[in-house]
Amino acid sequence: MGRRKPLVVVTRKLPDTVETRMRELFDARLNIDDTPMDQAALIEAVKTADVLVPTVTDRIDSAVLSHAGDNLRLIASFSNGVDHIDVASALNRGITVTNTPGVLTEDTADMTMALILSVPRRLAEGAQLMTSEREEWSGWSPTWMLGRRIWGKRLGIIGMGRIGQAVARRAKAFGLQIHYHNRRHLPAAIEESLEATYWDSLDQMLARMDIVSVNCPHTPATYHLLSARRLKLLKPDAYVVNTARGEVIDENALTRMLEAGEIAGAGLDVFEHEPAVNPKLVRLAKQGKVVLLPHLGSATLEGRVDMGEKVIVNIKTFMDGHRPPDRVLPSML
């Protein structure tokens, strides 16, 4: 008789091909109707599962983990970031945590570049006008709906990991001058290929940029990294783009500055209190000062399938007694 298949609890609906493969390999308990699990459901899951497969909408904190059964040995997150998991608590309990890095890089960088283009060039505002019942387009005019040029501007990237570098490659092709702030200097060869300027002082960089792109993970060290004080360093004609995590920016301070015209605009794919969106930001979007997207950065079919395949590889490798390739270590946080 073969070994018992591990009980794998999946918290959200995943692409059909991923779920089918999970059923073939594991005793997979799926969430077919995609209803997000509340804390009680997550506690029940960690009590019974051998492997938990959560997503960014699931808060796997110490309160949930305190109920973990002896069988729970792996949390294989369907995500790049792991700020929704209390990794330290998990590791203290002997539970391995994995994520799905790398596969979201190009999709997220594409969306970042889309926002970098759409905010200064007023794309969302123009698109809304073309379908508006209140206002009809009267034709081209030399001075109507003028945006700001992208080419030749300075882009400051906060966080120069895989995604930050992918954004830099795209932005360089659009004629932007690349600047970056990171925990450490990039290797010289990469820095030279991107023609990127490193700033060890985030404050110094922010004061000089035309566009700022947030591409760092959310960790305790990056919470409100763009604080009210730092946002005030931005030039009044600067734009802020965030496709990373909403918590990295003090959203209330950003909103106040946008309302006061102290910065030119923002493109946001993530929010500090998702799925809640500040009503003032919604009003600003209707005025054309902000482009808001519903966390679409990694939302491609190919990306989601690739994420699912990484989760499966991590589970299979772990269950076969080997070190999973995408293990999250404390030093990474």
Q: Hey, which residues are catalytic here?
A: 245, 274, 295
End-to-end CA distance of the chain: 42
With tokens 């589970």, the residue in question is 315
Answer whether 125's CB lies under 8 Å from 292's CB.
Answer: no
Upper half-sphere CA count for residue 267 (Cβ side, 13 Å): 26
Q: Which ranges of the chain does DSSP label H, i.e. alpha helix?
A: 16-25, 39-48, 62-65, 87-92, 105-118, 123-130, 162-173, 188-194, 202-206, 228-231, 251-259, 279-286, 301-319
Instruction: Report the largest interatomic distance among the alpha carbons of the chain, rounded to a whole angstrom.
Output: 78
With tokens 């983990």, the residue in question is 65
**Secondary structure letter of residue 135 according to DSSP:** -
Name which of 274, 284, 154 is nearest 218 in CA terms: 274
Upper half-sphere CA count for residue 218 (Cβ side, 13 Å): 23
The whole-angstrom separation of Cα 300 and Cα 123 is: 21
The whole-angstrom separation of Cα 123 and Cα 110 is: 16
**Secondary structure letter of residue 224 according to DSSP:** T
Note the Cα 193 to chain centre separation in Å: 25
With tokens 């949930």, the residue in question is 64
3-state secondary structure of 312: helix
**Tokens representing residue 93 in the block:** 């309990």
Q: Are strands 74-76 and 96-98 parallel, antiparallel or unpaired?
A: parallel
